[in-house]
Structure 1
């Protein structure tokens, strides 16, 4: 946390070069909530977006800050930020903080879940604790997940700007699309373009190359529909926060 605070001005300068790109990676690594992601995507002014993002990261505590710094060390993330890449080489993100544990403390916890929420049992290790009591209450489901967000299934979803959607989700699509060949088969691309895409050695490279041929709304819509068909789970996830 302290590293981010001390270097906040530098991080704002570097990450503002392409704030949408870093947002995709932060969301993909679940460092921010879907609500925060939508809020940041709706903001204007790239500097303001990055400032808000850093404030959210800092506010989420030491572990999230450490994970964020580790994310910045990833070559796929810092490839667009040369100065950031050099800086991250000097940053030590190893956990050095220690926690003083007091044995014999009785912990009481009330946990509840409703409307499709899921409760997972916590795992406590490396601590000398007294007895732990947890009262868990599960409320009946009033709605299923699909009922809560009608019309979010990508096959039945239309959006105003398909090119914008693909651009804003480029990083996630490149990282996570695995069924790339059937997606290509469903597109009406020039033979040479298809050959160039298929010639790439990895799915990530193929997807990145494929996105370079999205130069009009009709192609973007065709690609969107093909992804909905062959990458349904991923597309529904992206649409849920769009």
Structure 2
């Protein structure tokens, strides 16, 4: 028997502007006692389009222990109908969502060192995972490598800096591929990863980003000894 779709009305309660093209949308579910999901999963949103419905998946950017709410970190894509629609929304808007969906989740047993790798809004599901692990008291080392093109595009920068300051076993490495005045790491995420951690021993990778980035990551790490089974990923189109 096919599983019945679970669609809920999500109420938009807050919008954070993270950059000129990225906003973080906070939704609550007042009609549902609890919205249960696993860090890394996504929802399928529904928006009206010419008398019909346009649907698009977005990863949940917040951890499950933040009660009965989710955050969606969305970049406005040129020519993208759904992302452009999001940028017209105001507080109070009610959006139908199906979910939770997806199998991009942390897999037990966890290794001594978890490497989280993302570009742009691909950091969304990894942010949920990191907050979950820190809340659960995970003792192992965690590293987030977050890549963007320009320094004004680094997402949740102050938040990740604060987490790294509070938790010595969490390391945060932002990197910029087209630096102007940036003083930190530069280059693509896969190259930064190998500069810091050339050996795959005791490590697993959770990565999220656009298809070209994930393909390049898999190819580069594979050539440098990282086994395919140690790399878990979500590709975005």
Q: TM-score, normalised by structure 1?
A: 0.29
More strand by share: 2
Higher Rg of the two aligned structures: 1
